[in-house]
């Protein structure tokens, strides 16, 4: 088992060394189970990017929602999201990349999440639909985005995701959009290594490769997950 863990760490390390590091994301994910049917869900991201001048703050994400648990395998989330886009080009010519405008984006989003097991791996199918009002320079643009994400949690040193478990989490996500020139917005392939500290807290770190109509990029993500059960 130690050999497996060392191999995974070396793989992630080699990706970090040889891939072009275009971005770094930090994320906090919060869940609170209020009752058998209801809960709170939150995602809070800080995203940095590098366009050749060093890393600078690119976006902040604050996504919140009311979680409704249909059954043990399927749940729904509905809520708002507030996104800050920093150092955005105003479109009025070349500027210092550290002295540009800030644009806001507001969303109403709903998510449908189904999960099941294949052996010890827990498989998730996530469909997320977002209604977006994006601030542009001089106007606001409305569009819809449709996302499908397939991901898994695979414990390594235990059969289940119990405290003290190392795990891997591979994922692929497809983004489609309307009211834009191209329907395909993004494709993300993300592989992470994680550790579950206790019943409420876990952490992951990994590499994400992204593709869109204009570029590909490599992003390194670090995420903290906190999951409370207030029924206890």
pLDDT in the model for residue 55: 73
Which is it for strands 23-33 and 38-50: parallel, antiparallel or unpaired?
antiparallel
pLDDT in the model for residue 2: 52
The Cα 32–Cα 109 span in angstroms is: 19
pLDDT in tens, 39-96: 999 999 999 888 667 677 889 999 999 999 999 999 999 999 999 988 766 555 555 5
pLDDT in tens, 172-210: 999 999 988 889 999 999 999 999 999 999 999 999 999
Q: What is the mean pLDDT of residues 10-14?
A: 50
* Residue (of 226, 188, 225, 185) closest to 207 by Cα position: 188
Handedness of CA 94, 97, 98, 100 (dihedral sign): positive
The Cα 33–Cα 36 span in angstroms is: 7
Write phi, then psi, for 193 (nearest 5 degrees): -110, 135
Handedness of CA 174, 190, 55, 27 (dihedral sign): positive
pLDDT in the model for residue 89: 66
């Amino acid at each position: 088992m130690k050999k497996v863990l060392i191999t995974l760490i070396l793989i992630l390390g080699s990706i970090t060394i040889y891939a072009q590091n275009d971005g770094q994301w930090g994320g906090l994910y919060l869940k609170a189970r209020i009752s058998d049917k209801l809960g709170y869900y939150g995602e809070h991201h800080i995203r940095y990017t590098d366009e050749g001048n060093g890393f600078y703050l690119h976006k902040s994400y604050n996504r919140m929602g009311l979680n409704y648990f249909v059954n043990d395998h399927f749940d729904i989330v509905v809520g708002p999201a507030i996104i800050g886009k920093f150092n955005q080009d105003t479109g009025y010519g070349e500027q210092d990349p550290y002295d540009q405008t800030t644009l806001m984006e507001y969303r109403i989003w709903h998510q449908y999440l189904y999960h099941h097991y294949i052996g010890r791996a827990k498989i998730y199918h996530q469909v997320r639909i977002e209604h977006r009002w994006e601030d542009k320079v001089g106007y606001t643009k409305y569009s819809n985005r449709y996302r499908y994400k397939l991901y898994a949690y695979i414990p390594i040193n235990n059969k289940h995701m119990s405290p003290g478990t190392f795990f891997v989490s591979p994922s692929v996500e497809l983004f489609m959009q309307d009211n834009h020139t191209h329907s395909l917005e993004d494709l993300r392939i993300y592989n992470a290594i994680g550790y579950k500290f206790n019943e409420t807290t876990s952490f992951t770190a990994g590499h994400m490769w992204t593709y869109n109509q204009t570029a590909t990029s490599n992003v390194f993500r670090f995420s903290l997950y906190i999951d409370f059960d207030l029924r206890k």
